[in-house]
């Protein structure tokens, strides 16, 4: 019996003196050196009593050592649980208690983490941004080879907790097969080879930076410019040495604000990918004008990794997320049914394929609600398929506004608002209303001198039915976002919940 994920992503690079991580100080960590580091960590974890299927919770800054902990878990059959570095102690307490983690690794500057770990019977060790800490020190004396633990494609490889905007976060159980199928598909679909150099400025506690980016590069045998975080200066300096970049919309808007970001800076690049949040059509246009490159948008989730992608060859259509990836099925159905809607109509997106997770940890009822017995996962996203087969995300099901019995899709209104002069971006939410149940509220982030709200109201009257007209249009300095740049509409709904009371 083999270990498919380790063998494909890591093991085949053993002894390879080829670059894997290009670090900010100018040094290079080879594939082989990285694997030797991971082996030392694997020995330490098993010496600490962790066995296959046990959980390792990690809330640490981005570093090569943090990435090596992931590889060590795959090699030892331990379930890797990365945690957002922005989580508060109370949030981490829930994840540690819910997951039953045997060992918690945290930043040395987070003293409360040790108390949380011990409260739930877990061990505690540390790892800092510079790669030191108790776990790194303890691993130094360990062997640089480790007997890889046999695993099957259906064995768990990782937990990722959902954002929990509508209740307690759910631990999505991802198998070796889930992660491996997606990595292999993306290598082929996005044309990655061993010659590629990915500019990696994403966090590695999220599926985007850890699985979509890192696993794909490992599967291709390529290398990464491994930046601790996104900073325009560092990214622009690194671009001439890179061939590809994966980012969130905020990355690209911030780059476009810098005059140094131009065709010369991107002359060696072949691919820019964007995800985790929608990219405005205006950003697509400005990016192509400035660089000559067309950003490739795709669609993924914590529970599935990547589901769809705009084509590598062919039209990358703004406002869409392309087509289902090879091996992934996608359908649009009426809410609470399995009846598919006619092409072009809006419904709930469901997906099925080897990328779809195994279920939610210790939540069988929630799993049954969202994962059908025949393998279809109910994403909760509303979408439609345009006449050419491109998938369009309209919004989240929970973001749907029902006013006076009419269904209102925020995305339709946002698209009109985003086109208006003086509007950088917008967010449309539903607020409780005594007569209509809900009514529309529009928040505008100003651009330049800002919007002419009265002119915008007139445009909306011309282009949208009366029941879709916002009862309130307000300008705000910025929209609340999570660490991956996604607008947090739940926070906005809470803020405006009593506006019409």
CA separation for the pair 219, 200 (Å, rounded): 16
CA separation for the pair 230, 228 (Å, rounded): 7
**Nearest C-alpha neighbor of 187 from the set 437, 394, 8:** 8
Q: Dump pLDDT digits (tens) for 350-390.
A: 999 999 999 999 999 999 999 999 999 999 899 999 999 99
Q: Is 422 exposed, middle or buried (0-12, 13-18, 19+ CB in 10 A)?
A: middle
- Model confidence at 163, in pLDDT bands (50, 70, 90)? low
Which residues, including other chains, have CB under 8 Å from residue 255's CB and lie 6 or more apart?
232, 235, 236, 261
CB atoms < 10 A from the CB of 231, how many? Answer: 12
- Model confidence at 410, in pLDDT bands (50, 70, 90)? confident
Identify the three-state secondary structure at position 73: helix
pLDDT tops 80 at residue 186: yes
Q: What is the mean pLDDT of residues 382-403?
A: 89
Characterise 121 by phi-psi region: left (phi > 0), alpha (psi -120 to 50), beta (else): left
Looking at residue 405, its pLDDT comes to 67
Q: Enter the DSSP assignment of 187.
A: H
How many percent of the chain have pLDDT more than 70? 98
Q: For residue 83, what are the CA distances in angstroms to 240, 247, 302?
A: 32, 19, 13
pLDDT tops 80 at residue 167: no
Looking at residue 396, its pLDDT comes to 78
Q: Of 197-206, 265-274, 284-293, 463-472, give the lowest mean pLDDT range.
A: 463-472
Looking at residue 421, its pLDDT comes to 93
pLDDT tops 60 at residue 166: no
pLDDT tops 80 at residue 313: yes
Tokens of 262: 């131009």
Identify the three-state secondary structure at position 432: strand
Q: Dump pLDDT digits (tens) for 87-137.
A: 888 889 999 999 999 999 999 998 799 999 999 999 999 999 999 999 999
251 φ/ψ angles, rounded to the nearest 5 degrees: -55, -50
pLDDT tops 80 at residue 182: yes
Render 285-332 in DSSP notation, one character per residue: HHHHHHHS---EEEEEETTTEEEEE--SSS---TT---EEPTT-EEEE
- Model confidence at 25, in pLDDT bands (50, 70, 90)? very high
pLDDT tops 90 at residue 276: no
Q: What is the mean pLDDT of residues 257-273?
A: 95
37 φ/ψ angles, rounded to the nearest 5 degrees: -65, -45
Q: What is the mean pLDDT of residues 399-413?
A: 80
Helices (H), 2-88: 4-9, 31-47, 64-76
Q: What is the mean pLDDT of residues 143-156?
A: 97
Q: For residue 434, what are the CA distances in angstroms to 227, 353, 493, 496?
A: 51, 44, 16, 14
pTM, full prediction: 0.86
Identify the three-state secondary structure at position 116: helix
CA separation for the pair 182, 190 (Å, rounded): 12
Beta-sheet pairing, 271-274 with 244-247: parallel
CA separation for the pair 147, 40 (Å, rounded): 11
More confident residue, 411 or 145: 145
Q: What is the mean pLDDT of residues 399-427?
A: 86
Average pLDDT, the chain: 93
Tokens of 178: 């889930």
Domains of the chain: 4-17+29-151 (3.40.50.980), 400-495 (3.30.300.30)
CA separation for the pair 14, 22 (Å, rounded): 18
Inter-residue contact 393 to 381 (CB < 8 Å): yes
């Amino acid at each position: 019996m083999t270990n498919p994920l380790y063998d494909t992503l890591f093991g085949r690079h053993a002894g390879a003196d080829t670059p894997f991580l290009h670090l900010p100080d100018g040094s290079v960590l080879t594939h082989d050196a990285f694997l030797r580091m991971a082996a030392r960590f694997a020995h330490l974890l098993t010496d600490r009593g962790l066995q296959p299927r046990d959980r390792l919770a990690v809330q640490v800054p981005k570093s090569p050592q943090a990435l090596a902990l992931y590889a060590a878990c795959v090699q030892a059959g331990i379930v890797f649980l990365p945690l957002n570095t922005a989580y508060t102690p109370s949030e981490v307490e829930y994840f540690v208690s819910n997951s039953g983690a045997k060992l918690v690794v945290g930043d040395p500057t987070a003293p409360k983490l040790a108390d949380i770990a011990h409260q739930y019977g877990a061990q505690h060790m540390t790892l800092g941004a510079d790669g030191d800490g108790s776990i790194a020190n303890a691993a130094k004396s360990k062997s640089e080879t480790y007997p890889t633990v046999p695993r099957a494609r259906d064995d768990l490889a990782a937990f990722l907790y959902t954002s929990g905007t509508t209740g307690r976060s759910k631990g999505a159980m991802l198998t070796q097969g889930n992660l491996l199928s997606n990595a292999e598909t993306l290598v082929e679909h996005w044309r990655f080879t061993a010659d590629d150099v990915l500019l990696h400025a994403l966090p590695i506690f999220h599926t985007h930076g850890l699985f979509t980016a890192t696993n794909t590069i490992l599967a291709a045998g390529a290398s990464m410019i491994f930046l601790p975080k996104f900073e325009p200066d560092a990214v622009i300096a690194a671009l001439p040495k890179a061939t590809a970049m994966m980012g969130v919309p905020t990355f690209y808007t911030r780059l476009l604000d810098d005059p140094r970001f131009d065709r010369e800076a991107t002359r060696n690049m072949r691919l820019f990918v964007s995800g985790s949040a929608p990219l405005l059509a205006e950003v697509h246009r400005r990016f192509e004008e400035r660089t000559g490159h067309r950003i490739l948008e795709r669609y993924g989730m914590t529970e599935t990794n990547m589901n769809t992608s705009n084509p590598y060859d062919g039209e990358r259509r703004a406002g869409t997320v392309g087509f289902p990836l090879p091996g992934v099925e996608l359908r649009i159905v009426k809410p609470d049914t399995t009846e598919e809607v006619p092409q072009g109509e809006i419904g709930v997106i469901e997906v099925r394929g080897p990328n779809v997770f195994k279920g939610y940890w210790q939540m069988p009822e929630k799993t049954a609600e969202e994962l059908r017995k025949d393998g279809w996962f109910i994403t909760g996203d509303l979408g439609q398929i345009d006449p050419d087969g491109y998938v369009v995300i309209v919004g989240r099901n929970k973001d749907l506004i029902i006013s006076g019995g009419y269904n209102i899709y925020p995305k339709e209104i946002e698209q009109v608002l985003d086109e208006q002069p003086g509007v950088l971006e917008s967010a449309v939410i539903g607020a409780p209303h005594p007569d209509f149940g809900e009514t529309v509220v529009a928040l505008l982030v100003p651009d330049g001198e800002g919007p002419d709200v009265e002119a915008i109201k007139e445009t909306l009257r011309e282009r949208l039915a009366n029941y879709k007209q916002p009862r309130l249009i307000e300008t705000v300095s910025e929209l609340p976002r999570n660490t991956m740049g996604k607008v947090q509409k739940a926070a906005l709904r809470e803020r405006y919940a009593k506006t019409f009371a």
